[in-house]
Structure formats: C-alpha cells, structure tokens
Amino acid sequence: MNNPLLDFSDHPRFDAIRPEHVTPAIQILLQDGRDMIARLEASTGAPDWDSFVEPLESVTEKLGRAWGVVGHLNAVVNTPELRAAYNENQPLVTEFWTALGQNEALFAKYKQLQQAPSFASLSPARRRIIDNAVRDFKLGGADLAPDQKIRFAEIQEEQATLSNRFSENVLDATNSWELLIEDAARLSGLPEDAVDAAKALAEKEGKAGYKFSLHFPSYFPVLQYADDRALREAVYRGNATKASELGEKPEWDNTRIIADLLRLRREEATLLGYRNFAEVSLVSKMAETPQQVVDFLEDLARRARPFAENDLAELRTFAKSELGMDGLEAWDITYASEKLREKRYAFSDQEVKQYFPESKVVAGLFGMVQKLFSVEIRSDQAPVWHDDVRFFRIEKNGQLVGQFYLDLYARNGKRGGAWMDDARGRRVAGNLVQTPVAYLTCNFTEPAVVDGKRRDALFTHDEVTTLFHEFGHGLHHMLTLVDELGVSGISGVEWDAVELPSQFMENFCWEWDVLQGMTAHVKTGEALPRALYDKMVAARNFQSGLQMLRQVEFSLFDMHLHFDFDPDSGRSAADVLAEVRHKFAVLVPPAFNRFQNSFSHIFSGGYAAGYYSYKWAEVLSADAYAAFEEAADDAELLAHTGMKFHTEILAVGGSRSAMESFKAFRGREPTIDALLRHNGMTL
C-alpha cells in the first residue's frame, strides 16, 4: 500500500517513485486485471455496460496509468536502473494486453452487447467504444486458432522488445556522441548563445573548450551557422550515422532490428488475414487502402516537385556565386539556405530568436488559448520528475477541466523530439468527474547560466511552432467533454486525424496580433517589429517545396515498407528508401546517411504505416484554419468559430468519426486548396 505507483488518488507521486517500485506495482496490477477478467468470464448473465464494460475499463485503466508513468519516466529521466525495471516488466505487460485482446469469452460478450436491442439506446460514445472493441478484438487475434494465438502473442512480445531496443539504441547513441572543440576560432558564425551553451556543456563535465552533442539544440546551430565546413561535416556525419553500423558502437546498430520488425509485422498481418501490415494499420484510420495513401502522397509529390526543383536551383546558384561552393554537400544545405534566406529577406533566425524569450512565449500561448476557447490557464502544484518541469491547470467558468505538465528542455537521459502524452483521461463515474492530465514534452535549449544567474531561454520561431503544435494535442486531450474514457480526448481518434488540432494551432504562430502578445526583445523588451514580422511572413514558404517533398519522401518510405515490400526478398529498408528518393527526391543524401536507423516514429513510436498522417491531417488542419481566416475581420464570427472548433472538434474526441467531426465544423468535406495556398503552391 506504500507503493506510490499504486496510488491513484490524485497525480502521480513523481517525487517518490523509484525503480524498485515498478515490479511490485505492475505485478499487483496485472494480477488485479487477471482476476477481474476471470470474474467477467465466469459471469453467466447478459452483459451490460455497468456490469461488464465499466469494471473491465476501471481495472485496465489503473494498469495503463501506472505503466504510462513508468514509460514516461523511462523517456524523460532514463537511468540504467529505471531502464532495467522497464525492460523486466514490458514483456509481462505486453503479454497481458495480448491475452486480453485474444480473449474469446470477452470478445463474445462485446459482440453480444453490439447485437443486443439495447445497443441502440446507448449514447453515441458508448456505442462507438463497443464498436471499437469488437474491431480491436479482431485485430488482436481473438478469431485465430489456438496455435495461431500462441504465435501472435510471441510476435507482439518480440515487437515490443525490439521497438524498445530501437529507441534505447537511438537514445544511447545520441547521449554518447560528443565533439570537443578547443579552438574558439572554429566556431566562427555560430550565435553567441550557441557558443555559450557549448562552453557550459563542456564546463559541466569538467572539460576544456566547447562541447557539441547530437541533441537538436546543440548540433543544429552548427549546421545552420558554422562557417567551418569541416565542423559542419563532422556534426552531420555524427547525426546521420547514429544507431547504425557506421556509428560508435556495434551494439547500437538498428539495422537488424528494422529488418526483424518488418518481418514480424508482415507475419502479424498474414495471421490476421491481411495481405500486408499497411492494411492492418489502416483499419482504424480515415484512409481506406494503402494504395489510396500512396496516390495521395504521390499527388502531393507531383505538386511539390516543381517548387522543390526551383528551390534547389536557386540554392545552388546562390551557393556558387555568393559562397564560392562549386558543389553543395549535405552538410552545406542548411548553412547555405540560412545565408540565402538572410540575403533575400534581410533577417536571420538568430535575429528573430531574440524576440522569443520563454516566459513571454508561454504567457502569449496561454493568452491566445484563453481568448480563443474561453478558458483560464493557471499555475498549479503537483510532484514532478525534474526541477525544470512546471504544472498548470485549465479552468472554464471557474471549473477545472484539465491539467498539464510542461517539460521544455533537452538533457541527457531524455528522448529526443517533442510529444504530448496522456497521464490520465477524462471519465465520469457516478457523480465523480476525473479530469484529464497531459504531458507536454519538448527538447529546447535550456536557459544559460551566466555569472550564477539563470537567463530566460530564447526560442527559435520553429521551436515556438513546435510548442504550439504539442499544445494543440494537449487541448484535444484536455478540452474534451466526453464522459467515457475510451473515446474522450485523443482516445479513439483515428491516427491520421489526430494531428488536426496540433497542426491547426501552428498557424497562430504567424498571426500578427498573437505575436504581439508573445514577443519581447531579450534586451529592450520591444515587441516584434512590424517590419521584421513582414519579412518572416514573406519568408514563410521559403523552400516549402523542398520541405514538403522531404515529408512525402519519409511518408512514402514508411508506407512502401509496410505495403509492398517483402523483407525476405533480399532487398533492405535502405533499398526501399533509395528507390523512393530516386523517384521523388531532388535532394539525395550521401551514401553513408542512415536516416532510417533513427526513424523512431515508425520503428518505436506507433506511426508504422501511419507517417503519412502528418500530411493527411495537414489537409484537414489547413482547411479548418481557413474558417478562422474567413472570420478574421468579424470579432463576433471569430468567437463563434473558436467555440465551434471546440465543440465540434476538440470536445467530441473519438466519440464519432473524424470525418463527421470535420463536416460538423466546416459544413463539408475537406479540400486540399488551403494546404496548397498556405504552402505557397498555387500558381
């Protein structure tokens, strides 16, 4: 009873949780789950919501919440002890969920519920939960023969282990790599804050000079600003070869893991009666077939390619004439692009960054959200896992509707990237409302400490956009009004629609009124000047053709791997990527590039045969934002549009299909027009 992982009375007790708590807690929760399943199996009465669905949901929610805490800590404060505890229990948790998904007795009861006359009188949310459960039992192998179930369970456990090892290899390779520079002259071109951060990183470890790592805030400024071409190449190579056979340690090479995962996914699909894993993936998504996705992506590629070719031609001409580069190498692209943008638009990312101190950005984000959705965001208190983490609450009409943790900075032991995850979902049991809680995690540069004083962190505009993106996911989770856990917030939302609110929120980072409320020059306190804003807007679609083609390239690579690639054909994932690039890319990386070996989205992040979702949902989000553009000059209409987006998109969660929600908001199906216009791809 003293185990903090078993305390569900309020928020996780992050200040008390230790690795040694994991195994005892998970063992108890797994046994509780097995006991409940046995009771439900033995029940002879006709199943109904209160006697069957609710008890099963309650017991599995506790396991999900506790394991979610363990997984979150493993991602943000990874230690050898925590990793060992996680790895010890992951097979047991996977085994439990697999067995649950294959349980014929429970499957039969869900089908009985679905076919009962009373089904029609249930709320739409409850009907959707039952429909989803029947679908998921089929995908979980409940219809398989006994020997097939055994193999299916083995496949699930092997995939979970391999995906986790993939993620660990990327993390270890990222944390391990370093580049020490002793000659300050080699840092020519780098912004002052990037140099200060490198020096502080070296000093923290008792080393002389300047240390660079493969954490994004450390290596990317080198690629973007360093005049030393050899320095850029060293950093590029380190990042491009991590977790591969060309990296530091053979045991961190993900090549074999990729091949094994693809074989297992293909075998899983075959067992379930599908031709490929992409078909399995799309069962719970908006897109209907892999070919439909491929056609969508190839259409985008065809539209983007002329713009991308023009982007590259301009860059090569500029690099040769202005920078003296006859050949443009991969480690020159970001550097030359930044120089071209500075020349063309007369500003740099570094100049813009001075107007985005963290305190002003966060306050501005909160202010915009409060105005748009008529809510209040206040600082709150809860145990946290690191001193840099902050906790907030969202209220509407004085009532608590959600809370969130904000963990903004990169550090060793923290997985790269940015993400939102749920700590708990909204549900109503009796008269008690369980409000949702979210984790919002980024990897921005931590504040510099100068002369013993901690400065405000400065964000690039891209980082501001990332923060808005993740907050959009958070709003989707926290502003739900659905009372049933299985479809409240982001639960039950089709994966290729889940990016709609996040990408929608990114658009506000370009609004003049919004930026006025979230910018203040770090030295003068002056808000972003109109002249600089106009330059930013003019440069918004700078190299948008190249950027879109790159995302399409990754999406097609993912889809083909899981659609028409045979892992036993003698071809490799690298071959598939090379073929996609040959057909669609205008910028082909060097032969040593091993991007796929750290493509965590599809090999450890749940986006397998789903990376296309970013572009698919961008069609939805751009069209949804167009409604706000159309209402921009009418304050009353704008307020109404914000309220409607809340009620028809955010509030309903997964209680109905994403297409129904979109049409309820927009009054029609989505079109691609706004996406092309926002990316400057209209002729």
Q: State the pLDDT confidence band at 680, using cuts at 50, 70 and 90.
A: very high
User: Is there a domain that residue 659 lies in?
Assistant: no
Are 258 and 247 in the same domain? no
Are 509 and 569 in the same domain? no
Tell me the C-alpha distance between 386 and 406, whole Å. Answer: 11
User: Is there a domain that residue 63 lies in?
Assistant: yes
CB 277, CB 269: distance < 8 Å: yes
User: Is there a domain that residue 188 lies in?
Assistant: yes
Q: What is the pairing mode between strands 437-444 and 419-424?
A: antiparallel
User: Is there a domain that residue 282 lies in?
Assistant: yes
pLDDT digits (tens, 9 = 90+) for 317-339: 999 999 999 889 999 999 999 99
pLDDT digits (tens, 9 = 90+) for 222-249: 999 999 999 999 999 999 999 999 999 9
- Listed residue (70, 77, 92) closest to 3, CA to CA: 70
Q: Is the pLDDT of residue 346 over 90?
A: yes
Q: What proportion of the chain, given as a percentage, has pLDDT over 70?
A: 100
- Listed residue (156, 263, 281, 268) closest to 609, CA to CA: 281
Which domain CATH number covers 13? 1.20.1050.40
- Listed residue (303, 173, 175) closest to 247, CA to CA: 173
Q: Say which residues have a Cβ less than 8 Å from residue 71's Cβ, sequence separation at least 6.
A: 86
Are 111 and 237 in the same domain? no
Q: At 320, is the secondary structure helix, strand, or coil?
A: helix
Q: What pLDDT score was predicted for residue 315? A: 97
Task: Out of 95, 117, 143, pick the residue that ends a domain.
Answer: 143
Give me the mean pLDDT over the 153-160 stretch: 97
Q: Is the pLDDT of residue 452 over 80?
A: no
Distance between terminal CA atoms of the chain?
66
Are 518 and 430 in the same domain? yes
Residues with catalytic roles: 470
Give me the mean pLDDT over the 250-266 stretch: 98
Are 393 and 374 in the same domain? yes
Task: At 451, list the tokens.
Answer: 């002369």
pLDDT digits (tens, 9 = 90+) for 74-106: 999 999 999 999 999 999 999 999 999 999 999
Are 122 and 21 in the same domain? yes
Range of the domain at 590: 254-347+543-611
Q: State the pLDDT confidence band at 449, using cuts at 50, 70 and 90.
A: confident
For the chain, what is the domain count?
4
Q: Is the pLDDT of residue 1 over 80?
A: no
User: Is there a domain that residue 656 lies in?
Assistant: no
Q: Is the pLDDT of residue 501 over 70?
A: yes
Tell me the C-alpha distance between 250 and 252, whole Å. Answer: 5
Tell me the C-alpha distance between 478 and 434, whole Å. Answer: 11
Q: What pLDDT score was predicted for residue 621? A: 97
Are 465 and 594 in the same domain? no
User: Is there a domain that residue 152 lies in?
Assistant: no
Are 396 and 517 in the same domain? yes
The pLDDT mean for the chain works out to 96
Give me the mean pLDDT over the 149-177 stretch: 97
- Interior angle at CA 365, CA 635 and CA 518, nearest 5: 90
Are 381 and 511 in the same domain? yes
Are 222 and 258 in the same domain? no
Tell me the C-alpha distance between 417 and 424, whole Å. Answer: 22
pTM of the predicted protein model: 0.94
Tell me the backbone φ, ψ of residue 422, rounded to 5 degrees. Answer: -95, 135
Q: What proportion of the chain, given as a percentage, has pLDDT over 90?
A: 96
Side chain identity, residue 493? V
**Which residue do the tokens 């045969």 mark?**
609
Q: What pLDDT score was predicted for residue 72? A: 98
DSSP letter (8 states) at residue 148:
H
Which domain CATH number covers 469? 3.40.390.10
Are 504 and 548 in the same domain? no
Q: State the pLDDT confidence band at 41, using cuts at 50, 70 and 90.
A: very high
User: Is there a domain that residue 623 lies in?
Assistant: no
Q: State the pLDDT confidence band at 454, using cuts at 50, 70 and 90.
A: confident
Task: Out of 143, 167, 194, pick the residue that ends a domain.
Answer: 143
Count CB-CB contacts under 10 A for residue 510.
15
User: Is there a domain that residue 533 lies in?
Assistant: no
pLDDT digits (tens, 9 = 90+) for 615-667: 999 999 999 999 999 999 899 999 999 999 999 999 999 999 999 999 999 99
Q: Is the pLDDT of residue 504 over 70?
A: yes
Task: Out of 584, 611, 638, pick the residue that ends a domain.
Answer: 611
DSSP letter (8 states) at residue 382:
-
Tell me the C-alpha distance between 473 and 468, whole Å. Answer: 9
Which domain CATH number covers 267? 1.10.1370.10
Tell me the C-alpha distance between 536 and 19, whole Å. Answer: 47
Task: At 175, list the tokens.
Answer: 């944390």
Q: Is the pLDDT of residue 683 over 80?
A: no
Q: Is the pLDDT of residue 453 over 90?
A: no
Are 343 and 429 in the same domain? no
DSSP letter (8 states) at residue 52:
I
Q: What pLDDT score was predicted for residue 448? A: 81
Q: Is the pLDDT of residue 38 over 70?
A: yes
- Interior angle at CA 134, CA 131 and CA 136, nearest 5: 105
